[in-house]
């Protein structure tokens, strides 16, 4: 019995260092894993990679003149060129009329004061010199009225009325062309629309099937030509209305100044 107990004690003494070493190794491994986990937690997380989807398409902005050029070509130059010609000719006439009407504007109050002073100091001839040296339709009407002064006030009034109609016709010169281009541009656009639709239906008839790809080209030409014609008409209409308003203003000035001139001549004749 004593021998058996001694054997157990000896076996325990031999196994104890092995168990101790195993526990130490297990603790070291556990500490290493804990250190690695702490280092991974302390390390900054990498930035997420940008996600690019197939639906995202990068579109470059084009300049305005390039867009206009592309639409002009897409609308078929055969139909767009006449509309462009209407715009160019209409703008040329409108700008010429605007410049002429602005140059024809006269300060009527200042002109009437000069005429009255000239009549008091030098008579009719001095007044004629003042009106002849002044530009504008009002001064031209005054000159015609003063030239008829010797025939009486009634002839002066008739001369002013007759020559006023002539000057008004000169002011309205060219407006009929602007009006023509305003009417013609949408008509040309609509003609391109009709021709484009006819081409679309011809494509449908030839293919024997209605497909968006067949009619898209013709419908696109139709819409672009219509839009172009309407834009040209709107632009020219603005210039036309400005010219008409300017002419109305000049005509009103001529009428008021003519009445005042007759009154001045009557006063001069009575005081002569």
Count of CB atoms situated within 10 Å of the CB of 164: 20
List of residues 6+ apart from 225 with CB closer than 8 A: 75, 76, 79, 80, 83, 188, 189, 190, 191, 192, 193, 196
Cβ atoms of 80 and 228 closer than 8 Å? yes
On the 0-12 / 13-18 / 19+ scale of CB atoms within 10 A, 188 is buried
Q: pLDDT tens for residues 179-192? A: 999 999 999 888 88
The more confidently predicted of residues 51 and 144 is 144
Query: Residue 56 above 50 pLDDT?
Result: no
Residue 96, pLDDT > 90, answer yes
- Tokens at 108, concatenated: 């009527």
Q: Give the pLDDT band (50/70/90) at residue 52.
A: very low
Give me the torsion for CA of 235, 238, 242, 245, rounded to 10°.
150
Q: Give the Cβ contact number of residue 184 at 10 Å.
A: 20
Helix, strand, coil percentages for the chain (3-state, nearest 5)? 85, 0, 15
Task: Supply the pLDDT for residue 111.
Answer: 87
pLDDT value of position 272: 61
173 pLDDT more than 80:
yes
Tokens of 231: 């834009």
* DSSP per-residue letters across 79-112: HHHHHHHHHHHHHHHHHHHHHHHHHT---HHHHH
């Amino acid at each position: 019995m004593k021998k058996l107990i001694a054997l157990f004690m000896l076996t325990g003494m031999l196994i104890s260092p092995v168990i101790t070493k195993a526990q130490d190794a297990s603790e070291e491994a556990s500490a290493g894993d804990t250190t690695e986990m702490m280092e991974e937690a302390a390390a900054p997380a990498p930035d997420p990679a940008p996600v690019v989807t197939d639906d995202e398409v990068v579109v470059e902005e084009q300049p305005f003149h390039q867009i206009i050029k592309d639409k002009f070509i897409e609308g078929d130059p055969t139909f767009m060129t006449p509309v462009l010609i209407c715009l160019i000719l209409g703008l040329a006439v409108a700008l010429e009329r605007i410049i002429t009407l602005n140059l024809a504007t006269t300060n009527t109050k200042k002109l009437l004061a000069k005429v009255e002073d000239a009549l008091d100091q030098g008579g009719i001839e001095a007044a004629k010199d003042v009106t002849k040296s002044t530009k504008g339709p009002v001064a031209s009407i005054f000159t015609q009225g003063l030239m008829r002064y010797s025939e009486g006030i009634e002839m002066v009034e008739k001369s002013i009325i007759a020559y006023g109609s002539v000057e008004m016709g000169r002011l309205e010169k060219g407006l009929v062309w602007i009006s023509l281009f305003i009417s013609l541009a949408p008509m040309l656009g609509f003609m391109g629309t009709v021709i484009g639709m006819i081409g679309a239906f011809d494509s449908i008839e030839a293919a024997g099937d209605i497909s968006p790809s067949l009619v898209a080209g013709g419908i696109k030409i139709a819409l672009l030509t219509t839009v172009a014609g309407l834009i040209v008409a709107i632009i020219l209409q603005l210039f036309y209305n400005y010219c008409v308003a300017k002419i109305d203003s000049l005509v009103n000035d001529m009428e008021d100044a003519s009445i005042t001139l007759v009154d001045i001549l009557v006063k001069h004749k009575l005081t002569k």
